């Protein structure tokens, strides 16, 4: 293991080639020492006989064909693990940076993880109340779910994620052990600070592990950060039995780093220059959410991504949506109307919602009310565009009612204060208030029994 | 197992062996010290290329590669049903017993349980001539399915020895056959078959029987035949998986092979949990008793994803050979195509469209060609129907996988984002979707459901098309200016969309609906239209008609009329008549 090779055979962007190596393994981690002063890490991404192609996690500036010593480590990328990781801050590849010293590591694990066996998963069914009506009523968050926020530059996704962290019943009420793993990929310092302040102010900072690869940190290192974070999350969840909420932000920066490495390898791109394996690569992280049958903990993921050009068909949101269990989509038009949180409910979805709502978990009318709100809100846009053509006054009475339903929905149901924490019952009652704006015969998603119970004709 | 080479290079799931080797094309090989399973995918003078079905991390040049002499195959025998396998038929429950909640590579497991003793009833006698396909024994594989062990294809001869009825495992010989060349072969309950070769049949014929799914938009509007092919393209969240689950649960196939190809782990867990609890109305047993799952979830190795489609299809063909109607759900064929693309990219092949290899179309064609209604060599008839989900990039149907799939399937159930957004499920777009089986199945519907079925269906489709063109106008000028007969078309279109096409998978009554109820629903909607037309021709304005609650009532039939109380439709007809007379009397 301890052989050191002096010099490199080529350097090209984040990739270097080393010839004449012995015993190099695919996916092995190597250590570089540049000028005997600067240490860097890399990973073998292709190997041919005695030639290794290595992806360097840090910047390759300063590296020359002569000044670099390379050492094989004999293993793939591993993260050392300790229970006291909660409350600590690490860099993007898992080294402590909070000045609180080394940890008492009790184990270490390959950061790539192994796939969970579907026969050992437990299907997630526990409702997490976030206190946000648009989410609780329409895109319900379930413990063990992976539910991303699709956002755009300048939209309040950080505020929203912070509000979820503050308000969600992660286990605080039930005295269940919980924790938050926060991974930043290429975000600005102020964003990381904002999250840290939020965790401090809501008194959970001792339960938070942060992994920070900030905007000025090496780009390729970003490829490691979410994997390190998820390895820590799995350890905390399945070894220590905690309910872990993982926030990954910004997945777009992660994907861009992946594209950069791919293009320097001269791989054949699929769409927009992204490699054909972007789907599998993202899946290998998102699929690490879940619950293991017979174990107490869980891993819930809220990845955040900014859609380039607000385009939901861009490969990053597109492939994410194909893997995650729904998505919460933020919308610039709503934000422009000062609606906070500006959640566009129509493209938003929670695929696990059906198992975690209803009489047993929330209230009997939940699914029907949600279906009705989606259906009715989708008609608001038709009414609005018709109004813009023929004028509001010319609209039929029903269409006029749809207009005011839409206003109310956006301003008082989706929209709420940044510290407003509604119970699910309050949310559902509020929904019925709005539905009373519409004539009863328009409510065709709700069956007669529920309408008789909750819809008061005389109101 | 013989070492035929050493590893020269490793690039993800692709491993190279240097030089001219003795490996065969498509041969199954064991790669490296950990003996990971792989397949030879190309042979050149100077190197052999292998795709490895497991994670290659940690593998080094210089490690051995062993030959097996046979192509990548699956084991066919009792134990396939009520079970879940990975992409190359390794049993996931057994893997969990060995390695816990995570799937570690290199797990050494038998594909089918070799210990379990099955009750065997022998079906052949000494002296009997047998050919490939002859049923030699019956085994109650699950509560629902009687397994029929067959002479493997390519074997022909006379039975020289049989065992007594009794309990046997899949490795024990059941009969011995003297072949034409005098050699004796032992036939067991299980046989191997290479996944990339279709199992032979005597002949293929056109199907005139529908695969009844209980889903109205399928059965009534765009039906699929037993032995037919269908594609479900749709962006994320439009309902592809739900639709496949619904068909797997409620269709009248004998056996379901569900291939989770590059999709979510939780969805496989859900199928396992749900199907074990749900009762199959036909047999009274749990649905898992007729189901086998193949799971290569999106985080499992990509080479095995490419294989999973063939593994599933081979299992399906095996049960077809016994005379069963088998339906394959493949979710999603796009992930399979992307696995092809990824492997092709690593091989630095010349890409065609969007990075996909030029052979994409021919691979898709070969897959769907394995569907069909067949006459088997043992004179039974069996079918394989294939229903493949397609996940177009960006939800755009013009991309290569959707387009090439469209060329080779005969049903196209296009899912629509806008419909999904307003939670109109199943979000099958009734304007873009089609079934080429409508004509082939017409006689069956006439004889088995109602003489009027085909005509009612046609009228429903026509109204929907008219409604759609009218809605384009309404969007511009509002509905007030339309003449009353057009307003009626819009109203009836609405009744069809909400009351008939929308079907709630979570509602106990609505989740699956028998054909006769589907027919009666179409009839009653058309009857309502007829009476309204008559009112309008008597000068009654649509606004007056709409004030009555009859439309709402008809829409609610799906919930209010239980599937076994179809006599209630008579009352609805009377209600329509009452509505008619009321309007006439009041306003005449
Ligand atoms: N027939 C249906 N009835 C009720 N809800 C449905 C139906 N089809 C789809 N859905 C809803 O849509 C969501 C997404 O469906 P899914 O099949 O997972 O989409 P896809 O596989 O196309 O991404 C489901 O979680 C469910 O909430
Ligand atoms: Mg799906």
Does the beta carbon of B559 sit less than 6 angstroms from any atom of ligand 1?
A: no
Asked if A87 and A62 sit in the same domain, the reply is: no
Which domains does chain B show, CATH number per domain? 2-71 (2.40.30.20), 113-189 (2.40.50.100), 203-436 (3.40.50.300), 453-587 (1.10.1140.10)
Report CB contact under 8 Å: A27, B56: yes
Report CB contact under 8 Å: A114, B104: yes
How far off is chain B from A194, nearest CA to CA, in Å?
A: 32
| Helix or strand run (H / E) with residue A55 | strand A51-56
**B198-229 residue pLDDT tens:** 999 999 999 899 999 999 999 999 999 999 99
Residue A124 lies in a domain: yes
Give the residue from A57, A76, A95 where a domain finishes.
A76
Query: CA–CA separation, A164 vs A185, rounded Å?
Result: 20
Average pLDDT over residues A121-144: 94
Residue A412 phi/psi, 5° resolution? -115, -15
Q: Do A111 and A231 form a contact (C-beta atoms < 8 A)?
A: yes
Give the residue from A326, A356, A386 where a domain finishes.
A356
- Please list every residue in chain B whose beta carbon sits closer than 8 Å to the beta carbon of residue A326: 237
Q: Comparing C-alpha atoms, which of A19, A61, A22, A18 is closest to residue A40?
A: A61
| Helix or strand run (H / E) with residue B292 | strand B291-296
Asked if A48 and A94 sit in the same domain, the reply is: no
**B450-475 residue pLDDT tens:** 999 999 999 999 999 999 999 999 88
pLDDT, chain A, mean: 92
Asked if A380 and A425 sit in the same domain, the reply is: yes
DSSP A84-119: GGTT-EEETTS-B-SSS------EEEETT--PBPGG
Asked if A70 and A84 sit in the same domain, the reply is: no
Asked if A71 and A90 sit in the same domain, the reply is: no
Domain extent for A35: 4-76
**A230-272 residue pLDDT tens:** 999 999 999 999 999 999 999 999 999 999 988 888 888 888 9
Output the pLDDT for position B251.
Answer: 96
Give the residue from A55, A76, A97 where a domain finishes.
A76
Give, rounded to a whole angstrom, the gap between the first and last alpha carbons of chain B.
92
Whether the per-residue pLDDT at B151 is higher than 90: the answer is: yes
Asked if A173 and A59 sit in the same domain, the reply is: no
Residue A58 phi/psi, 5° resolution? -95, 180
Q: Which amino acid residue places its CA nearest to atom 10 of ligand 1?
A: B239
Asked if A135 and A173 sit in the same domain, the reply is: yes
Report CB contact under 8 Å: A118, B268: yes
How far off is chain B from A46, nearest CA to CA, in Å?
A: 5
Q: Do B367 and B313 form a contact (C-beta atoms < 8 A)?
A: yes
Asked if A277 and A205 sit in the same domain, the reply is: yes
Residue A26 lies in a domain: yes
Average pLDDT over residues A175-180: 82
How far off is chain A from B257, nearest CA to CA, in Å?
A: 17
Output the pLDDT for position A174.
Answer: 63
Asked if A171 and A187 sit in the same domain, the reply is: yes
Report CB contact under 8 Å: B506, A354: yes
Give the residue from B237, B303, B480, B491 with the most A CB atoms within 10 Å of its CB, the best one to mutate: B237
| CA B110 to ligand 2 center in whole angstroms | 30
**A26-37 residue pLDDT tens:** 999 999 999 988
A296 burial (CB, 10 Å; 0-12 / 13-18 / 19+) is: middle
Read off the pLDDT band of A171 (50, 70, 90): low
Output the pLDDT for position B348.
Answer: 83
- The number of folded domains in chain A is 3
Q: Which residue of chain A comes nearest to B260, CA vs CA?
A: A118
Output the pLDDT for position B2.
Answer: 84
Average pLDDT over residues B283-297: 94
Whether the per-residue pLDDT at A294 is higher than 60: the answer is: yes
pLDDT, chain B, mean: 94
Output the pLDDT for position B104.
Answer: 87
Whether residue B414 is annotated as binding a ligand: the answer is no
Average pLDDT over residues A73-101: 93
SS3 A145: coil
Output the pLDDT for position B457.
Answer: 97
Asked if A268 and A318 sit in the same domain, the reply is: yes
What torsion do the CA atoms of A374, A376, A378, A383 make, to the nearest 10 degrees?
A: -170
Give, rounded to a whole angstrom, the gap between the first and last alpha carbons of chain A.
79
Query: CA–CA separation, A156 vs A335, rounded Å?
Result: 8
Query: CA–CA separation, B232 vs B210, rounded Å?
Result: 17
Whether the per-residue pLDDT at A172 is higher than 80: the answer is: no
CATH code, A228 = 3.40.50.12240
Ligand with the closest atom to the CA of A326 = 1
Q: In terms of DSSP H, where are the helices of B131-219?
A: 216
Query: CA–CA separation, A313 vs A305, rounded Å?
Result: 13
Output the pLDDT for position B130.
Answer: 96
Nearest by CB: B394 against A318, A326, A386: A318
Output the pLDDT for position A266.
Answer: 84
Output the pLDDT for position B588.
Answer: 67
Q: Do B197 and B152 form a contact (C-beta atoms < 8 A)?
A: no
Q: Do B143 and B166 form a contact (C-beta atoms < 8 A)?
A: no
Could you say which DSSP state residue B203 is in? E
Nearest by CB: A115 against B102, B391, B424: B102
Q: How far is CA B228 from CA B203, B206, B320, B458, in A?
A: 15, 9, 13, 21
Residue A361 lies in a domain: no
**B96-109 residue pLDDT tens:** 999 899 998 888 89
ipTM of the complex in this document: 0.93
Asked if A59 and A89 sit in the same domain, the reply is: no
Asked if A18 and A56 sit in the same domain, the reply is: yes
Neighbours of B275 (CB within 10 A): 22
Q: Residue B161: is the preceding peptide bond cis (ω within 30°)? A: no
CATH code, A23 = 2.40.30.20
Whether the per-residue pLDDT at A342 is higher than 80: the answer is: yes
């Amino acid at each position: 293991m301890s052989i050191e090779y002096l010099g490199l055979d080529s350097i090209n962007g984040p990739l270097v080639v080393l010839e004449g190596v012995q015993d190099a393994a695919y996916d092995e981690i190597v250590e570089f020492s540049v000028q005997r002063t600067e240490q860097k890490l890399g990973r073998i991404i292709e190997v041919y006989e005695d030639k290794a192609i290595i992806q360097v996690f840090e910047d390759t500036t300063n590296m020359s064909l002569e000044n670099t010593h390379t050492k094989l480590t004999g293993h793939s990328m591993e993260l050392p693990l300790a229970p006291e990781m909660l409350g600590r801050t690490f860099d993007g590849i898992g080294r402590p940076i909070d000045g609180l010293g080394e940890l008492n590591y009790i184990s270490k694990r390959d950061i790539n993880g192994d796939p969970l066996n579907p026969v050992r998963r437990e299907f997630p069914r526990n409702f997490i109340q976030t206190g946000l009506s648009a989410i609780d009523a329409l895109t319900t968050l379930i413990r063990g779910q992976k539910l991303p926020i699709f956002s755009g530059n300048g939209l309040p996704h950080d505020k929203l994620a912070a509000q979820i962290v503050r308000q969600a019943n992660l286990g605080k009420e039930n005295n269940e052990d919980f924790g938050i793993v926060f991974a930043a990929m290429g975000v600005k310092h102020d964003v990381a600070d904002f999250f840290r302040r939020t965790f401090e102010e809501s008194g959970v900072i001792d339960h938070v592990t942060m992994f920070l690869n900030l905007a000025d940190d090496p780009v390729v290192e970003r490829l490691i950060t979410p994997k390190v974070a998820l390895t820590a999350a799995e350890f905390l969840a399945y070894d220590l039995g905690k309910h872990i909420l993982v926030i990954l932000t910004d997945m777009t920066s992660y994907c861009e780093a992946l594209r950069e490495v791919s293009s320097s390898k001269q791989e054949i791109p699929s769409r927009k220059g992204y490699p054909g394996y972007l789907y599998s690569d993202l899946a290998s992280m998102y699929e690490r959410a879940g619950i293991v049958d017979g174990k107490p903990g869980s891993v819930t993921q809220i990845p955040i991504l900014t859609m380039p050009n607000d385009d939901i068909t861009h490969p990053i949101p597109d492939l994410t949506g194909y893997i995650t269990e729904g998505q919460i989509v933020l919308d610039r038009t709503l934000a422009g109307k000062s609606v906070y949180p500006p959640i566009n409910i129509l493209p938003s979805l929670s695929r696990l919602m059906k198992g975690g709502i209803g009489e047993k978990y929330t209230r009997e009318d939940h699914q029907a009310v949600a279906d009705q709100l989606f259906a009715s809100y989708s008609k608001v846009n038709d009414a609005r565009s018709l109004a813009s053509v023929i004028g509001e006054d010319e609209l039929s009475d029903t269409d006029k009612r749809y207009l005011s339903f839409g206003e109310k929905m956006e301003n008082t149901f989706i929209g709420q204060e940044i510290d407003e924490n509604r119970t699910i019952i309050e949310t559902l009652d509020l929904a019925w208030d709005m539905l009373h704006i519409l004539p009863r015969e328009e409510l065709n998603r709700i069956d007669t029994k529920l309408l008789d119970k909750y819809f008061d004709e005389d109101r | 197992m013989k070492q035929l080479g050493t590893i020269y290079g490793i690039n993800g799931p692709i491993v190279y062996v240097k030089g001219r080797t003795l490996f065969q094309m498509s041969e199954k090989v064991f790669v490296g010290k950990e003996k990971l399973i792989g397949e030879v995918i190309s042979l050149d003078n100077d190197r052999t290329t292998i795709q490895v079905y497991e994670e290659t991390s940690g593998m080094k040049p210089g490690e051995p590669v062993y030959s097996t002499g046979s192509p990548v195959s699956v084991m066919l025998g009792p134990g396939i049903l009520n079970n879940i396998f990975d992409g190359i038929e390794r049993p996931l429950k057994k893997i969990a017993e060995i390695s816990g909640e995570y799937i570690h590579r290199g797990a050494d497991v038998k594909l089918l349980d070799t210990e379990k003793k099955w009750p065997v009833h022998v079906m052949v006698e000494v002296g009997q001539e047998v050919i490939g396909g002859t049923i030699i024994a019956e085994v109650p594989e699950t509560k629902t399915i009687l397994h029929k062990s067959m002479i493997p294809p390519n074997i022909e001869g006379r039975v020289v020895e049989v065992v007594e009825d009794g309990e046997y495992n899949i490795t024990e010989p059941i009969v011995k056959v003297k072949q034409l060349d005098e050699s004796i072969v032992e036939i067991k309950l299980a046989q191997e078959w290479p996944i990339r070769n279709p199992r032979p049949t005597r002949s293929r014929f056109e199907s005139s029987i529908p695969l009844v799914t209980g889903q109205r938009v399928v059965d009534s509007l765009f039906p699929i035949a037993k032995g037919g092919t269908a594609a479900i393209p749709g962006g994320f969240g439009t309902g592809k998986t739900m639709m496949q689950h619904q068909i797997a649960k409620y269709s009248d196939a004998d056996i379901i092979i569900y291939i989770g190809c590059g999709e979510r782990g939780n969805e496989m867990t859900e199928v396992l949990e749900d199907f074990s609890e749900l009762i199959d109305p036909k047999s009274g047993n749990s649905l898992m008793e007729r189901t086998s799952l193949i799971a290569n979830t999106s985080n499992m190795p990509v080479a095995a994803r490419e294989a999973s489609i063939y593994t599933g299809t081979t299992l399906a063909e095996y049960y077809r050979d016994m005379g069963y109607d088998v339906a394959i759900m493949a979710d999603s064929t796009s992930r399979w195509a992307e696995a092809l693309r990824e492997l092709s990219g690593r091989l630095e092949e010349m890409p065609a469209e969007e990075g996909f290899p030029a052979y994409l179309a021919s691979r898709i064609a070969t897959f769907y060609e394995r569907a069909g209604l067949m006459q088997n060599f043992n004179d039974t008839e069996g079918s394989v129907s294939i229903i493949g989900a397609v996940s177009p990039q960006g939800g755009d149907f013009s991309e290569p996988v959707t387009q090439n799939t469209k060329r080779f399937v005969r049903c196209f159930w296009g899912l629509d984002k806008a419909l999904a957004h307003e939670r109109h499920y199943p979000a099958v777009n009734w304007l873009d979707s089609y079934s080429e089986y409508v004509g082939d199945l017409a006689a069956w519907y006439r004889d088995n459901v109602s003489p009027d079925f085909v005509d009612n269906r046609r009228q429903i489709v026509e109204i929907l098309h008219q409604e759609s063109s009218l809605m384009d106008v309404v969007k511009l000028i509002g509905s007030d200016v339309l003449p009353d007969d057009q307003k009626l078309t819009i109203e009836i279109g609405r009744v069809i969309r909400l009351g008939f096409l929308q079907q709630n998978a979570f509602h106990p009554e609505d989740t699956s609906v028998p054909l006769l109820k589907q027919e009666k629903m179409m009839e009653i909607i058309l009857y309502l239209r007829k009476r309204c037309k008559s009112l309008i021709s008597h000068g009654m304005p649509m606004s007056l008609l709409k004030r009555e609650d009859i439309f709402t009532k008809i829409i609610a039939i799906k919930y209010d009329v239980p599937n076994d109380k179809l006599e209630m439709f008579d009352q609805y007809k009377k209600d329509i008549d009452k509505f008619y007379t009321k309007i006439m009397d009041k306003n005449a």
